[in-house]
Structure formats: structure tokens, C-alpha cells
Structure 1
């Protein structure tokens, strides 16, 4: 995060920085980083491989 986000520009306000950090964590880091508890897959990959389309009745 330090290199990818914090050092990428000057931040005008704390609020602007807080919003950027939140978006970085929720939109990039959490969905994409690999987790050992789900077989070193990202949550997005795990969900894509383990969800099935809803079947009709």
C-alpha cells in the first residue's frame, strides 16, 4: 500500500486519503490477495470456482 497508494501522490485532506485507503483495501487488496485458508486463491477466484449458477425449479 505504501508504494501503490500512499507514495503515488500528495493528498489534499485526511478525508481524501482515508477514502483512497478504504477503496484500495476493499476494491483491490481484499478481493485480489491470496488467502491461505482458501487454498492460496483470491476471494474472487475462489468464489468464481466454487459457485454454481442457480438451477431452475
Structure 2
């Protein structure tokens, strides 16, 4: 499996998704942006951890 995004890029895309009012639920993101989900789960233990990390920055 290839990971095309760095951890910073994952966080930036999550923040962008949140600010645009997009759905941030795991199921919705998995369908709409599977690349983001794959990379987020590579760098963070879970999707919830990735969301919390994006909120902290």
C-alpha cells in the first residue's frame, strides 16, 4: 500500500474538510476521500485520533 500524504498534509486536509462544512464521519470520508482515510490511519491510531489532532493545531 502506498502512502502519498505526509502527516502534516493529512491534518491540513482534515482541517480543510472541517472548515468547508464537509462530513468528517469515518464512513463518509472513506467513501469520499479514501486516500485521506488510508493515510490518516497510517499516521494515527484511529480516525478519531486524526480528527482530535487536527482540532489541536
Instruction: Indicate whether the TM-score tops 0.5.
Output: no
Relative contact order, higher structure (CA 8 A, sep 6+): 2
For normalisation by structure 1, the TM-score amounts to: 0.29
Which structure shows the higher helix fraction?
Answer: 2
Q: Radius of gyration: which is bigger?
A: 1
